[in-house]
Amino acid sequence: MDLRVFPLPSFGAEDVVVAADGRVLTGTEDGVIWWIDPESSEIGQVLTTGGRPLGLEFLPDGRLLICDARLGLLAADLKGRVETLVDTVGGERMRFCNNAAVAKDGTIYFSDSSTVHPIDRWKAEVVELTRTGRLLRRTPDGEVTVLVDGLSFANGVALADDESFVVVAETAERRLTRHHLGTGKTDVFQAGLPGYPDNISTGSDGLIWITVASPRDPVVEGLQRGPLWLRRQVTRIPEKLQPAPKRTVRVQAYGRDGVLKKDLDLKTERFHMVTGVREHAGQVWLGSLHEPAVAVLTNSGA
């Protein structure tokens, strides 16, 4: 398994998506959407959202769908023209738009991680367990519906390859939750993950790929069981004294039946904290909230 890293001028390339022309797109903490040419390693700017872009997808009309943690759900053409699709839900502004999946008819399934904490307080959301995350749906006519609420840090979203269900990652409780689109029922797709899932996506191989951003942390789990006042106090201490993500590069892939098909776990100092994953034509592209780069795994058996 080989890892190739593509450095960027900006930090925090949180997600990755592959365009029809083979270029890879990502968004960084300064609001810039970048493109990378894997053949030449050339990079360039597509646009700046003015916020903090996280999850990326392509819409059926060719526009780029951007989950901007601060601005909401956006759509942009590659000339830089941006349209706001959703920034309020039920009359209240979205606090933490995170990740999305798009159906063939243009229906968008997306996550709002918390109604309490914004992205700058994501660690507080993990420790405090507010369980205010939501899975939402936007139909092509613009109607927005809450499909599932009460989620523990709603994060990555993936649509089954047959579009029968949608999966959302609950980062704080190391769980994947499934919502059946035909029946409207919600159940557990996978629990007891080996670490904290972030973005997820359906690959060109039909598998549901998930990131394991950081391994399971007994300290975090102990805090989660403590009284709320203690959890809140911990999240107010200086950042360097708070529990930190452990260095790892790990992604997994699950079949439609929830069976684990692939578990790629790489020990390296060149990249860490994988928060975005995209399997495309046998290659596995990676993004990271904590890196000024994206990376790709080759010869991984994907």
Tens digits of per-residue pLDDT, 103-159? 999 999 999 999 999 999 898 899 888 999 999 999 999 999 999 999 999 999 999
What CATH number does domain 2-298 carry, 1.10.150.120, 1.10.3720.10, 2.102.10.10, 2.120.10.30?
Answer: 2.120.10.30
pTM, entire model: 0.94
Q: What whole-number distance in Å separates Cα of residue 56 and Cα of residue 302?
A: 21
Residues 26-48: pLDDT tens digits? 999 999 999 999 999 999 999 99
Q: Give the pLDDT band of residue 242 (cuts 50, 70, 90).
A: low
Q: What whole-number distance in Å separates Cα of residue 300 and Cα of residue 178?
A: 27
Identity of the residue numbered 22: G
Beta partners for residue 64, in sequence order: 58, 76
**Which range, of 114-128, 226-240, 259-273, averages the lowest pLDDT?**
226-240
Q: So what's the pLDDT on residue 227?
A: 72
Boundaries of every domain in the chain: 2-298
Is pLDDT larger for residue 239 or for residue 98? 98
Q: So what's the pLDDT on residue 239?
A: 62
Task: Find where tokens 């795994």 sit.
Answer: 297
Indicate the average pLDDT of the chain. Answer: 94
Q: So what's the pLDDT on residue 302?
A: 67
**Which range, of 64-68, 90-94, 124-128, averages the lowest pLDDT?**
124-128
Tell me how far the alpha carbon of residue 80 is from its chain's centroid. Answer: 22
